[in-house]
A and B are shown apart, each in its own frame.
Chain A
Amino acid sequence: MKKNVFSLNDEIRSIYINPNETLLEVLRDKLGVKSPKCGCDSGDCGACTVLIDGKSVRSCLILAIEVDGSTISTLEGISKDGLSPLQKAFHEHNVFQCGYCAPGMILSATELLKKNPHPSEHDIKEAIAGNLCRCTGYIPVIEAILDFTKKD
């Protein structure tokens, strides 16, 4: 066991972990942060997406021990003070159905909009390409993001 200290949704957390625990397991099972989901557990689906130092990554492919000293955000952090404007846009467009892909999708879009506030449809598709969704057919996701970027 090794002590890890990192910032999770703007709170400093310190926790003892084993090298063989993935970040996804630690977030969900030890820290009770349930927005990252386990879909494929092998890097293909994007359901476990979190932001590390602002970049979207697959928490199922990262060992928790690697994030010592990093800054992690999940959907819980993004919606700390109520729904974020982007989430509201998703809401208005009635984007999701089961919602399993939603946290990952929203975090990927958050990363994109930070780098590129006025993305083209192509940019959006590229950004969410790794977030698989079994329900929406992606069109509403793209529409919501496009619509959101036109508003501001």
Chain B
Amino acid sequence: MAIPYEFGYQKPATLQEAIALLAEHDKNARILAGGTDLVNELKQGFRVPEILIDIKGITELKNIQLVDDQLEIGALVTFSEILHSKILHDNAYILFEAAGLVASNGVRNRATMVGNICSAVACMDSASPLLVHDAVIHLISSQGERNVPIQKWFDDNRKTTIRPNELVTHVSIPIPKVKYAGAYQKMMRYSGEDLSQANVGVLLFADNTVHVAFGSVGPIPKRSPKIENLLKAKGLSADTIEEAKQMIEKVIAPITDVRASKEYRLHMCKVMFVRALNTAQARIKKPKLITKKLHYEKKCLQSE
């Protein structure tokens, strides 16, 4: 299907040029990074920009780096690059794990994590891992810089709090001071390329604090303070985990659509919550478990 209308295209070489272009065209402009969502949206007429601003020429947006106790992931970092990053593997394993489940290799070679949370399609994979890690989105515009905590980022399905003249430069993740381990669970019809029907992210800390987020079970992905507080107050005994599991019915309200019924989603969220928690518990005890199990990813790391 051809894209049925015309638009302009600019590829700025610097962040300053990109910001100036955005200021000039405001809501008529659209940022192009990997394009795996955007090109589909253009074909469907969901977005009709006057101009695309391709940011792939801006090298400073390509970094994955550890700056003090902050992990920074640039706007141009693709899921394949996440899967090749030792820094991410060692410091935000849950993100690494989720990246390996995004679509297929041919899409991951192009699709960016920042693009994923900017498209904000409800079934995205990056949101739950970023939510449990309390990530912060860093934006820039001609008016200056702005930071948005990920919990305030999503407005609705496919809608975020980004302003028309803004550009995401990177996402940062604070490295916790205590020991921690995460786990990501994704429910899909077949492995290898499907969108998630529901997903759960869990981050467990050495002091037994738990962060838990649910994705693809509502218009926006969400943390659940209710469950987190319960686990904090009562610990991680089998009884409390069972109580938390039952609580899931009250904290999420999935819908029925072509990919799954609401009952199935709800049931599987309970199952996946327990699985993720168990995995995180095993990982926090034995961090080595991680590399041993994921042998495909280990090979990726070796070939770096």
Return chain B residues, CB-CB under 8 Å to A111: 105
Q: Mark A2-34, 1 if CB is under 8 A from B, else 0.
A: 100000000000000011111001000000000
Neighbour of A61 across the interface among B7, B39, B105, B296, CB < 8 A: B39
- Given the known A-B contacts A41-B1, A116-B299, A130-B105, are A62 and B39 also in contact in the complex, defined by CB atoms under 8 Å? yes
State whether B192 touches A129 (Cβ < 8 A): yes
- A24→B28 CA distance, assembly (Å): 26
Which 5 A/B pairs are nearest by Cβ-Cβ distance? A130-B104, A129-B192, A19-B9, A20-B3, A55-B109
**A73 adjacent to chain B (CB < 8 Å):** no
- A46→B6 CA distance, assembly (Å): 26
Partner-B contacts on A (CB < 8 A): 2, 18-22, 25, 41-44, 46, 49, 55-58, 60-63, 65-66, 68, 104, 108, 111, 115-116, 120, 122-123, 125-127, 129-131
- A22→B43 CA distance, assembly (Å): 10
Return chain A residues, CB-CB under 8 Å to B191: 129
State whether B2 touches A129 (Cβ < 8 A): no
Return chain B residues, CB-CB under 8 Å to A130: 103-107, 192-193
Instruction: Give 9 new A-B contacts, CB below 8 A, not counting A46-B104, A66-B32, A122-B296.
Output: A43-B103, A44-B193, A61-B35, A63-B35, A63-B39, A104-B106, A123-B299, A130-B104, A130-B107
Q: Mark B1-19, 1 if CB is under 8 A from A, else 0.
A: 1110111110100000000
State whether A20 touches B7 (Cβ < 8 A): yes
Q: How far is the CB of B43 from chain A (nearest CB, A)?
A: 7
Return chain A residues, CB-CB under 8 Å to B56: 66
State whether A43 touches B52 (Cβ < 8 A): no
Interface size class of B (residues with CB under 8 A): 20 to 34
State whether A62 touches B35 (Cβ < 8 A): yes
Q: How far is the CB of B304 from chain A (nearest CB, A)?
A: 10
Neighbour of A127 across the interface among B54, B105, B110, CB < 8 A: B105
Neighbour of B105 across the interface among A20, A56, A65, A66, CB < 8 A: A56
Q: How far is the CB of B171 from chain A (nearest CB, A)?
A: 23
> How many A-B pairs with Cβ below 8 Å?
97
Return chain A residues, CB-CB under 8 Å to B54: 65-66
- Given the known A-B contacts A19-B7, A22-B39, are A108 and B105 also in contact in the complex, defined by CB atoms under 8 Å? yes
Neighbour of A63 across the interface among B9, B105, B107, CB < 8 A: B9
Q: How far is the CB of A116 from chain B (nearest CB, A)?
A: 6
Determine the residue in chain B with the shortest Cβ distance to A56.
B106
Partner-A contacts on B (CB < 8 A): 1-3, 5-9, 11, 32, 35-36, 39-40, 42-43, 52, 54, 56, 80, 103-107, 109-110, 191-193, 295-296, 299, 303
State whether A43 touches B3 (Cβ < 8 A): no
- Given the known A-B contacts A21-B2, A122-B296, A130-B107, are A61 and B40 also in contact in the complex, defined by CB atoms under 8 Å? yes
State whether B8 touches A42 (Cβ < 8 A): no
State whether A61 touches B104 (Cβ < 8 A): no
Q: How far is the CB of A15 from chain B (nearest CB, A)?
A: 15
Q: How far is the CB of B191 from chain A (nearest CB, A)?
A: 7
Give 12 pairs: A residue, B residue, CB < 8 Å, sorted on A.
A43-B40, A58-B110, A61-B107, A65-B54, A66-B56, A122-B296, A123-B299, A126-B105, A126-B192, A129-B105, A129-B191, A130-B106
Neighbour of A19 across the interface among B8, B43, B296, CB < 8 A: B8
State whether B295 touches A122 (Cβ < 8 A): yes
State whether B192 touches A43 (Cβ < 8 A): no
State whether B80 touches A55 (Cβ < 8 A): yes
Q: How far is the CB of B20 from chain A (nearest CB, A)?
A: 19
